[in-house]
């Protein structure tokens, strides 16, 4: 009876740029290992451009686990544990599922597998360090984003009224006209639904072409970017970009919004 192996490969955009190791290269190396070790490849499962922080949002991973529970193969082979998961919790839950399904697990580059006690112990140790690396990277990214905002540079790419040029925000005049109209109409009618309807009558739409709803109008009305400021993690910083709305109108709008009843969640 032949032994069947499921190959799992994954790259995120950052991984592929940094490591230069594509899905096809991972699959080719692991297929060669299967041939050399007497395994027939059952299927290659690949998730492209998806983070390794969890397994819930990876279609190929979910398909692999479903097939494992049905006894479709004997072993799962990955290029490295970081391709499989960077979460210690996910790792233990997933490996427990594989073990209960009588499916072994092997990492090619770390040279261990779960068919031995030492392999299982080493897997746990490597998993802890993989999660630590992910968390350290996340902290560095957040710190860098905060530093940019504190220096007055925007952390965002898409906001109606502006376009990003290098580190600066440049006003897009036809979009800025929409923003000014939303502020003017709210000051006049004091009603978010009315603002939404008036924008629709004029043919005004959001950054990506969607209709401006009452909820979206409120987001525009409460975004300090339009008075030259930047918001990051509930803190506000002075930006370097040109404002679209004057401070007096901004303050008037905030006072009106504070007095108005909250928009029900179901009507967003």
- Catalytically active residues are 12
Please tell me the distance from the alpha carbon of residue 185 to that of residue 58, in angstroms, as a whole number.
44
Asked whether 228 and 260 are in contact (CB, 8 A), the reply is: no
What would the two tokens of residue 78 be? 């990955």
- Residues in contact with 137: Cβ distance below 8 Å, sequence separation at least 6, in sequence order: none
Instruction: Enumerate long-range contacts of 71-74, CB under 8 Å, 24 or more apart.
Output: 71/101, 71/102, 72/4, 72/6, 72/42, 72/43, 73/4, 73/5, 73/6, 73/42, 73/43, 73/103, 74/3, 74/4, 74/5, 74/39, 74/102, 74/103, 74/104
φ/ψ of 219, rounded to 5, equals -60, -40
Please tell me the distance from the alpha carbon of residue 121 to that of residue 116, in angstroms, as a whole number.
9
Q: How many residues are present in the chain? A: 268
Please tell me the distance from the alpha carbon of residue 215 to that of residue 16, in angstroms, as a whole number.
38
């Amino acid at each position: 009876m032949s032994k069947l192996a499921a190959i799992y490969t994954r790259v995120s955009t950052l991984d592929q740029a940094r490591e230069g190791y594509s899905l096809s290269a991972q699959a080719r190396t692991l297929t060669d290992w299967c041939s050399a070790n007497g395994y027939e490849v059952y299927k290659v499962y690949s998730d492209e451009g998806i983070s390794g922080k969890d397994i819930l949002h990876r279609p190929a991973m979910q398909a692999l686990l479903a097939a494992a529970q049905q006894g479709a193969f004997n072993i799962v082979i990955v290029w490295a544990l970081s391709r499989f998961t960077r979460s210690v919790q996910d790792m233990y839950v997933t490996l427990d599922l594989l073990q209960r399904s009588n499916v072994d697990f092997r990492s090619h580059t770390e040279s261990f597998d779960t068919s031995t006690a030492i392999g299982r112990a080493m897997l746990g140790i490597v998993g802890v360090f993989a999660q630590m690396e992910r968390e350290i990277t996340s902290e560095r990214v957040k710190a860098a984003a905060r530093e940019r905002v504190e220096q007055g540079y925007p952390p965002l790419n898409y906001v109606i009224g502006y376009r990003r040029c290098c580190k600066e925000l440049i006003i897009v005049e036809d979009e800025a006209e929409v923003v000014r109209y939303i502020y003017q109409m709210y000051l006049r009618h004091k009603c978010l639904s009315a603002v939404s309807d008036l924008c629709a009558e004029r043919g005004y739409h959001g950054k990506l072409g969607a209709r401006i709803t009452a909820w979206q109008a409120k987001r525009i009305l409460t975004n300090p970017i339009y008075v030259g400021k930047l918001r990051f993690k509930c803190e506000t910083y002075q930006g370097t970009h040109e404002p679209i709305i004057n401070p007096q109108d901004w303050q008037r709008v905030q006072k009106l919004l504070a007095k108005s009843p909250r928009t029900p969640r179901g009507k967003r």
